[in-house]
Amino acid sequence: MKEPHLILGIGELLWDMLPEGPRLGGAPANFSVMAGRLGNHAAILSRIGRDDLGREAVHRLDPLPADTSFLQIDRTHETGRVTVSFNNGQPEYTIHQPAAWDSMELSDEWVRLAERADAICFGSLAQRSIESRQTIQTLAAQTSSRCIRIFDVNLRPPFYSSEVIQESLELASVVKMNDAEVPMVLSLLGLPAEDDVTAGNLHLGAARLLAEFPTLQMVAVTRGGHGSLLVTRDEWHRHAGFPVKVADTIGAGDAFTAALTHYLLRGAELPLLNEAGNRWGSWLASQSGAMPPLPDATRAEIGAAIEQSA
């Protein structure tokens, strides 16, 4: 039997401190849980504090199909927290620092993992500190040429810079961002950018990124309830998305990225990649939280619908 693909999600593991109580999250953790649910060996590479929130994070992740055995424990810094408040229904985030994930160390164990990884996903938020930034970029550079390196843009003011965006894109083979982030990324890089995020302008922006970064092979743009756009040098595909009753959108983009990665590793064509990303992203948006229960019947049903679309 073939070994499952090794997929790494590296970066922030944190708690969203919501009015109704703490909820575990962080894009790399959300991504890894979904990648594991799709049948891969998905490992979370992050750092937590030697505190109650750190212990509770491991406890919550334990029954989920994400490998937590490579998490680092920090003796001095606390497990990451984000205070979430709502202003007229819109969430506002206070991402506390320093957090344990700001001090991720480049261990031999992590390097060995990266060298045999089939895919690695990293974002911009976890690169706000120089130590974690060097660790993330070194690990991405240590991967093999066949490894899919996904840069999942996650612009959280004030924790991003043109330098981090530039360096990350130079390492990536795939970049994923939402439609609002496309003109922001282009502007940070000094490239022409249209504020109007029509499908045509998004396509134009993706083409500019592909022209600017030779190692980049695909640009994936999520468009909320309007689906997504995938662009490579040779072709492109637009998906209209699936209408769902949204519970919350936390983790929906991470589910999209995990599904995209899963099917990329299987050599799927753009229409199937888009179908998979949108089906899993919309399912996640219909649930509460980023790591909701996933019944076997639901997983089988969504998987079958994706295969039938091929």
CATH number at residue 285: 3.40.1190.20
Preceding peptide of 98 cis, ω within 30°? yes
Residue 1 lies in a domain: no
For residue 70, is pLDDT > 90? yes
Task: Compute φ and ψ for 265, nearest 5 degrees.
Answer: -65, -15
Tally of domains within the chain: 1
Name the residue range of residue 230's domain. Answer: 6-308
pLDDT at residue number 42: 98
List, for residues 98-145, the tens digit of each pLDDT value: 999 999 999 999 999 999 999 999 999 999 999 999 999 999 999 999
Residue 140 lies in a domain: yes
Tell me the H-state helices in the chain: 27-37, 52-61, 108-116, 130-142, 162-171, 181-188, 199-212, 252-264, 270-285, 296-308
Residue 224 lies in a domain: yes
pLDDT at residue number 298: 97
Preceding peptide of 158 cis, ω within 30°? yes
User: pLDDT band at residue 262, thresholds of 50, 70 and 90?
Assistant: very high
Q: Which residues contact 192 (CB under 8 A, 6 or more apart)?
A: 186, 208
Residue 229 lies in a domain: yes
User: pLDDT band at residue 1, thresholds of 50, 70 and 90?
Assistant: low
pLDDT at residue number 90: 67
pLDDT at residue number 89: 65
R_g over Cα of the chain = 18
List, for residues 6-32, the tens digit of each pLDDT value: 999 999 999 989 888 899 999 999 999
Residue 133 lies in a domain: yes
pLDDT at residue number 147: 98
